[in-house]
Amino acid sequence: MESPESLNPWLPVLISTPLMLLLVAGIVLFVMRYHKRLVAHHEHLRHLEAVRQRQLLEAALEAQEAERRRVARDLHDEVGGMLALIRLNIGQVARQSAEAQTATETALRAKQQLDEAIGSVRRISHDLMPVVLEKMGLVQAIKGMAHSFPPDGGLEMRFTHNLDQQRLDARQELLLFRILQELLNNSLKHAGASLITVDLHKTATEASLTYTDNGRGFDYQPVQQGGEQAGGLGLRNLESRVALLNGRFHYNSRRGAGIKAEIVIPIT
């Protein structure tokens, strides 16, 4: 009697082929699942690294703000107090030596210099940690910034907003104020602008801060791609602060056309 193999020589192939196909399918499925798990693992590691970087940045900025508060307090309380006391003593010397013209003039000059030093200490202390921002909010702090420009200084700052008496979260206000300070410093140092406009607008879900100047501008594309000017202009610092607010940062500039920056943050 003939064996099944002798009757059909293709029978072993027909039997083994489905088994091979099942084996190949199993291997492919295993590789796909392994690759998926590997991608998920790498994505998890990237997420953990992003969280770690964000935490480091938040810690660095919080330490920076704490140091600013300490320096501002020391300037106001200690240095400012000592300068004020010296001013009183010099004023007394000037009154006591009224008959000596030279001594009086020297004392008055010293008193004037001390007045300037006291004003500088107050200004530096205010820039480090503006009291208006903490007590009255971002709108009043920006208004104070706009009013600080001398009327005949050749540079005007216009501020518009729709917040009325409303305030944002204290952390949001502080970071937005620091962003505005950075933009303003860039304009003062590099732009040669005559007009700066700031608009603070709030909706039910978002707040936006739009900043423009009519200065000389610059070619933004090389900077965006990591050009030499990027660090000097502080754009990366701005982006980092906006990222801490979970916001969106749009920046545009062309040579001879000024700059425009828009920061949009969610309101919780």
Q: Residue 224 sits in which domain range?
A: 137-266
Please check whether residues 106 and 77 belong to one and the same domain. yes
Please check whether residues 93 and 199 belong to one and the same domain. no
Please check whether residues 72 and 90 belong to one and the same domain. yes
Q: Is residue 40 part of a domain?
A: no
pLDDT at 131 over 80: no
- pLDDT confidence bin for 171, thresholds 50/70/90: confident
Please check whether residues 82 and 156 belong to one and the same domain. no
Please check whether residues 116 and 148 belong to one and the same domain. no
Please check whether residues 147 and 124 belong to one and the same domain. no
- Listed residue (188, 204, 205) closest to 196, CA to CA: 188
Q: Give the chain's domain count.
A: 2
Tell whether the torsion through CA atoms of 130, 136, 142 and 148 is positive or negative: negative
The predicted-structure confidence for 79-130, as pLDDT tens digits, reads as follows: 666 676 677 766 666 666 655 666 667 667 777 777 777 777 766 766 666 7
- Distance between CA atoms of 170 and 133, rounded to whole angstroms? 9
Q: How many CB atoms lie within 10 A of CB 207?
A: 25
Please check whether residues 109 and 206 belong to one and the same domain. no
Please check whether residues 233 and 169 belong to one and the same domain. yes
Query: What CA–CA distances, in Å, run from 163 to 39, 137, 146, 169, 200?
Result: 45, 11, 17, 13, 8
Q: Is residue 5 part of a domain?
A: no
Q: 3-class SS at 30?
A: helix
